[in-house]
Structure 1
Amino acid sequence: MKAMIIEKYGKSPLLMADIPTPSVGDYDVLAEIHAASINPIDFKVRDGKTRMLLKYDMPLVLGNDFSGIVTKVGNKVTKFKIGDAIYGRPRKNRIGTFAEYISIHEDDIALKPQNLSFEEAASIPLVGLTSYQALHDILKLSAGQKVLIQAGSGGVGTFAIQLAKAMGVYVATTTSDAGANLVKSLGADQIINYKTEQFDKVLQNYDGVFDTIGGETLEKAFKIVKPGGQIVSVSGLPNARFGVEYGSGFIKTSLFRLVTRKLTKLEKQYNVKYSFLFMKPSGRQLEIISQLIEAGKIKPVIDQIFSFEEAQKAMEYSESGRAKGKIILKIK
């Protein structure tokens, strides 16, 4: 099969290569991939920035979510059959959706929403699961509460705003002038132009913050959360709770404790709980997301669709930070 690979960590371009079609385990399905999406994790993996937590052999096929058709099922698969249209996010040790086929565990996929094209469906799994686990599982938001979602016009932000509104939550978000109309159309209640306003000077007494930026922006978020509230980040640093859940030896090092000291101090200072989200694949949660999509409560937001051969161009566009919504690779 054809796949887009890297042969070493770094900024070198993606290479089109012929590699063996993956084998299928007892609980796996083999999916013919019709579309995949570009996510920031793809170039972080390429650059080796995730090596502390994720180690891969080379050559490596990039890609973290997809939509396609089941072409083969393992001996013990019970949930899917050949011909099913599916979408999903593979486990972190089985990534590789920039390819014609992928072997994936049946627990990590769901039937594709019937009202979406393959390109639209491919835009959903990673951002959908990330948003669901942040807003529902960690922040545990309920109707009437208030959340700040950073970078509302980005891939995660466009989904998270819609999910929060479907949950009955009041949403503030940050964006630029170029993204203001988009986030408003998605239901954002308060829009902050990050180029002219400081969100920590405008907002207060929020129940939660969904941080997708990290750094100083994450640190400022503590100022706007009410005592007892929570912050969840996909761009900050892992903390002790992350280590307990995932058994990461990294969090036991003195270096880790040193670099996370500021976040721990801010937690105590503001009486706000901070969590790092290392998203987990979940076909069950994708089924819930499918129901919301088919009910018209959430719609895909796609910035641009590239051909499979344009994967490198798509990666460069993603890294530019200009996209409003998701970037898609059309593979079939």
Structure 2
Amino acid sequence: MDEILLHISQRLEALQVLLSSTLSSSRSHLQEWARQIAPCVARLKEMFASCVHQLGDTAAAFRENASTIFARTWNNASPIMAELQERLWLILQWLKEVIAQFWDMISQRSRLPSLPSSVSPPKIPDTVLQNGFFRALKANETPFKDIMSQRSLGFAIGCVVGLTLGLNWRHKSLYSPVFMKAISISSAKGIEGVSMVDDSPSPVILEADQVLIEVVASSIDPVDLAICTGYGRAVRRLLGVSEQSLVLGRDCAGVVVEVGRGVAWVARGDEVWLAVPPWRAGAMSELVVAREQQVALKPKMLNFEAAATVPYAALVAWDAAVTQGGLSPQSASGKRILVRDAGSAVGCVLVQLCKLWGAHVTAVVSARGKEVARQIGASEVLVASIDLDMEIRSRPRYDIVFNTVGPSLNVLCHRAVDPDGKVICTAPAAIPADSYGFIFGSLYALWARLKYFLQGHDLMIKPWSAVNQGRTILEQIRKLVESGQLQPVVDRVFSAADAELAFQHASSSTAVGKTVVHFRTLGRGRCLS
């Protein structure tokens, strides 16, 4: 028993020694750690104090500047306020005099004959005399004439203010049928969802710079085919454009029905053409509203079907050739240009512009587009085939290669271009927002709305930034068309009732140029049903 107690006491002593050494070691480590972090804590305190001091200085400066600005603004506005008050007082005095004269005239004309002395006036009951109106008359002893003058003055002022607001209120459209026919997409599942609807809401003018146009013809662009599969829906959703029964069509030609108060370039009855960007509702409908800067007079020599094929493709081609490619009548002369899929709408315009400016243009087309490429002025025409890339690589390299097909051809295009040359893609560019998640999508939404507000209701997204400022470019395109230097390429024309067939043809490999959807015929300068 004693031996057991001895062992226990030894163990307890060893445990006590171990605990004592552990506590001593921990204390020393804690002291060392405290000594190490003490400078950091001191620096943090200094930084915090400095930040607080800076914030205080900033707040004081802001208060001082705000008070100074307010005082300066008030001093500048005081003379104006005094003059305004004086003029308002003169107006009120004039109105008061007019009402007083009017009241005197009425009193004189409607003065009743005096009652005989034998007839006593009717006695007014006490309950009536307790009415607030009569009690006020008795208490203030104000003449009835003055009271009516004051109330008439208030009524007149209210009428003047209401009339002023009514005359300056936002102008509403006079031509606003409830529904219209339109070619729309019901779901982002491809061209199978394309159909003509007759219950699409008719647009109306809401801004001073807007134009209401009755559409005669519209054309199908490759970006419309991309929209059918959901292209650009994220941006449209951010800008409040409904995806339900989204109207298709990027360009159209028609007649101006109505203009906003601030429109100066076009008038009612003008024949115009226009293009709209992919993040807005399209123009393939009976009526469309666009901003004045997107609308231009169409060439007089073109019918509406031919004119509808030009605007959007011409703006994209102009942006590619001039803005991105740096081409002009002075700089394009002698350059070697390759246009992949020159039979597309953009390709047809690129071939003609580059050839007009003196470049050597090689056009790659399908078998059906071979003759079209020659007619629009291509220097060389290559038919797409299995050996096409080998043939292109065997030739001298090009200064600029225009890729109107899409990113799938970028590698092959870079093989054909000179090391110092450019490859420019005009196909619908991928919009990252279409694949953003919730967090990044929310951040993009904030950026898009801010940019949309600062840029005056239109986003500048490549390669369609030229569409937002289309009028200036379309005016130059109109001059080229009227002089015979640029011609549209119309493939086939369908009625609006055959919109499904039109989209099927436009998406086929045999399509050349633009496919047109026709809405109405003209009579006496106005579109007829």
**TM-score normalised according to structure 2 size:** 0.54
- Secondary structure of 1:92's aligned partner: coil
Q: 1:175 deviation in Å?
A: 1.4
| Pick aligned residue for 1:174 from 351, 364, 374 | 364
Contact 1:200 1:220 (8 Å CA) reproduced? no
Contact 1:91 1:280 (8 Å CA) reproduced? no
- Secondary structure of 1:91's aligned partner: coil
Partner of 2:393: 201
Contact 1:91 1:108 (8 Å CA) reproduced? no
| Pick aligned residue for 1:76 from 262, 266, 277 | 262
- Secondary structure of 2:321's aligned partner: helix
Distance 1:107 1:209 in 2: 30
| Pick aligned residue for 1:110 from 293, 296, 300 | 296
Instruction: Say whether residues 1:188 and 2:369 are aligned partners.
Output: no
Partner of 2:472: 284
Q: 1:53 deviation in Å?
A: 4.9
Contact 2:362 2:381 (8 Å CA) reproduced? yes
Partner of 2:233: 51
| Pick aligned residue for 1:16 from 168, 191, 197 | 197
Partner of 1:298: 486
Q: 1:248 deviation in Å?
A: 11
- Secondary structure of 1:149's aligned partner: strand
Deviation per residue, 1:101-124 (Å, 9 max, x gap): 000000001100111001110010
Contact 2:223 2:278 (8 Å CA) reproduced? no
Q: Which amino acid aligns with 2:308?
A: A
- Secondary structure of 2:194's aligned partner: coil
| Pick aligned residue for 1:62 from 245, 248, 255 | 248
Distance 2:428 2:268 in 1: 41
Instruction: Say whether residues 1:225 and 2:406 are aligned partners.
Output: no
Partner of 2:30: none
Contact 1:148 1:171 (8 Å CA) reproduced? yes
Q: 1:249 deviation in Å?
A: 11
Instruction: Say whether residues 1:162 and 2:352 are aligned partners.
Output: yes
User: Among the aligned pairs, what percent are the same residue?
Assistant: 28
Distance 1:147 1:10 in 2: 37
Higher relative contact order (CA 8 A, sep 6+): 1
Contact 1:90 1:108 (8 Å CA) reproduced? yes
Distance 1:220 1:53 in 2: 31
Q: 1:140 deviation in Å?
A: 1.1
CA 1:319–1:155: 2 relative to 1, 3 Å:
same
Distance 1:226 1:172 in 2: 15
Partner of 1:210: 402
The 5 A counterparts of 1:311-330 are: 311-330=499-518
- Secondary structure of 2:503's aligned partner: helix
Partner of 1:40: 222
Instruction: Say whether residues 1:139 and 2:305 are aligned partners.
Output: no
Contact 1:72 1:82 (8 Å CA) reproduced? yes
CA 1:102–1:209: 2 relative to 1, 3 Å:
same
Distance 2:356 2:397 in 1: 21
Contact 2:317 2:426 (8 Å CA) reproduced? no
Contact 2:368 2:510 (8 Å CA) reproduced? no
Q: 1:236 deviation in Å?
A: 7.2
Distance 1:249 1:280 in 2: 25
Q: 1:66 deviation in Å?
A: 0.2
Contact 1:200 1:221 (8 Å CA) reproduced? no
Q: 1:20 deviation in Å?
A: 2.4
Partner of 1:87: 273
Distance 2:258 2:397 in 1: 52
- Secondary structure of 1:19's aligned partner: strand
The 5 A counterparts of 1:96-107 are: 96-107=282-293
Q: 1:187 deviation in Å?
A: 1.0
Deviation per residue, 1:50-74 (Å, 9 max, x gap): 3355544222111110000000001
Task: Give the number of equivalent residue pairs.
Answer: 303
Q: 1:319 deviation in Å?
A: 1.0
Contact 1:90 1:105 (8 Å CA) reproduced? no
In structure 1, runs of 5+ residues without a counterpart are 254-275
Contact 2:233 2:434 (8 Å CA) reproduced? no
Partner of 1:272: none
CA 1:69–1:181: 2 relative to 1, 3 Å:
same
Q: 1:224 deviation in Å?
A: 1.9
Distance 2:279 2:407 in 1: 27
Q: CA RMSD in A?
A: 2.3
| Pick aligned residue for 1:3 from 177, 182, 192 | 182
Distance 1:309 1:194 in 2: 34
Distance 1:294 1:317 in 2: 29
Q: 1:162 deviation in Å?
A: 0.9
Q: Which amino acid aligns with 1:185?
A: Q
Deviation per residue, 1:161-202 (Å, 9 max, x gap): 111111211101111333222211211112222214225423
Determine which structure has more spread, i.e. the larger CA radius of gyration: 2
Identify the structure with the greater helix proportion.
2
In structure 2, runs of 5+ residues without a counterpart are 1-179, 441-461, 521-529
Contact 2:340 2:405 (8 Å CA) reproduced? yes
- Secondary structure of 1:126's aligned partner: helix
- Secondary structure of 2:233's aligned partner: coil
CA 1:129–1:217: 2 relative to 1, 3 Å:
same
